[in-house]
């Protein structure tokens, strides 16, 4: 059962959320682009807790960018359909 679908349809489109998540996601990718060398140097280290960095990074990006992608489809009107 798809929950909250009817509510989602009723609400206005989430433009503010799309904007905020887009800015956060864009900022993260911009940081990656600007600090590419430093990131690669730190993220391929194998001592201490450095190996955790790639894992933490993909979680952080997934959270921000995943939210952005979700709002993007919502704004376009593409959402799950109630089937049963």
Q: Does 8 bind other proteins (CB under 8 A)?
A: no
Identify the residue among 32, 34, 38, 75 touching other proteins (CB under 8 A).
Answer: 32
List the Cα angle 7/12/14 in 5-degree steps.
Answer: 100
Burial of 33-50, coded b for 16+ CB within 10 Å and e otherwise, reads eeeeeebeeeeeeeeeee
> Residues binding other proteins: what is the number (CB under 8 A)?
35
Q: Does 52 bind other proteins (CB under 8 A)?
A: yes
DSSP helix, strand, coil percent of the chain (3-state; round to 5): 70, 0, 30
Q: Does 30 bind other proteins (CB under 8 A)?
A: no
Greatest distance between any 2 Cα atoms in the chain: 52
Compare residues 15 and 32 and give the one whose CB is closer to other proteins.
Answer: 32
- Catalog residues that contact other proteins under the rule CB under 8 A: 1-3, 29, 32, 36, 39-40, 43-46, 51-55, 57-59, 61-62, 65-66, 69-70, 72-73, 78-84
């Amino acid at each position: 059962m798809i929950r909250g679908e009817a509510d989602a349809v009723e609400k206005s489109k989430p433009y503010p959320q799309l904007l905020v998540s887009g800015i956060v996601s864009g900022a993260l990718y911009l940081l990656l682009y600007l600090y590419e060398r430093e990131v690669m140097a730190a993220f391929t280290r194998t001592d201490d807790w450095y190996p955790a960095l790639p894992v933490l990074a993909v979680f952080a990006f997934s959270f921000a960018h995943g939210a952005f992608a979700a709002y993007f489809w919502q704004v376009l009107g593409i959402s799950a359909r109630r089937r049963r």
